[in-house]
Amino acid sequence: MTVTEVWKNADDLTMSLTAEFDASPERVWQLWADPRQLERWWGPPTYPATVDSHDLRTGGRVEYHMTGPEGDQPRGYWDVLEVDPPHRLIFRDGFANDDGTPNDDLPRNEGRVTIEPVGDGRTRMSIESIFPSTEAMEQVLAMGMEEGLTQAVGQIDAILAGGRPGIHGRPLTDGSRHRTVPPGSRTST
């Protein structure tokens, strides 16, 4: 499994996830830098993401929506605060209204991504979420953030192994679907 650890620290108002991959830091960075790759894993399998705009530079903005099993489309955005490819990304993560404006009824948090080599061609990626208050942290965790992020990151191994768009049952560009295969397995389509 990709995800090696998830922990919450109520005193520091953080939730952190660590994962390791059989890939270089540059390859793992591409999962963030390329919007088509990002939408293949950002969001759990039951809520796949569509990246609507992607300006991954300091001062830039990434906007996306997820499509749920009932057709609901919650929206989100990142205000990009710092970019240091392929090692670090810091962004303000927020929920958005249908028109893309920030939804001030839901909390924002700061996301800090660190990507570092760990030897033998492997890379560790850490995602730390920093919340503005205990109430904000509790609210977002109650909405399923821990489970959703764990499931989302759990999809990365298949992408790095060369899985095509459509893995995990997501539509391919031709409208067909690809069956889920374990990492390292081969399949024909």
Examine the pLDDT at 169 and tell me if it is beyond 50.
Answer: no
Q: Which residue has the tokens 């790759």?
A: 37
Quick: pLDDT tens for 84-110. 999 999 999 999 999 999 999 999 999
In a domain, residue 184? The reply is: no
175 in any annotated domain: no
Residue 139, domain extent: 3-169
Structure confidence at residue 185 (pLDDT): 32
Tens-digit pLDDT profile for residues 42-61: 999 999 999 999 999 999 99
C-alpha–C-alpha distance, residues 56 and 79, integer Å = 9
Asked, for residue 182, whether it belongs to a domain, the answer is no
Domain contains 180: no
Q: Given pLDDT bands bounded at 50, 70 and 90, which one contains residue 177?
A: very low
Q: What is the pLDDT of residue 137?
A: 97
Residue 186 has pLDDT above 90, yes or no: no
Total domains in the chain come to: 1
Q: What are phi and psi of 9, to 5 degrees?
A: -130, 100
Assigned domain for 108 exists: yes
Q: Is residue 178 part of a domain?
A: no
pLDDT (average), residues 20-48 = 96
pLDDT for residue 15 is more than 60: yes
Candidates 40, 38, 79, 50; CA nearest to 62 is 79
Tokens of 119: 């030897």
Tell me the two tokens of residue 39.
Answer: 């939408």
What confidence tier does 176 reach under pLDDT thresholds 50, 70, 90?
very low
The CATH number that applies at residue 160 is 3.30.530.20
pLDDT tops 90 at residue 114: yes
**Average pLDDT, rounded, for the chain:** 87
Question: Quick check: is 177 in a domain?
Answer: no
pLDDT above 80 (res 166): no
Residue 147 lies in a domain: yes
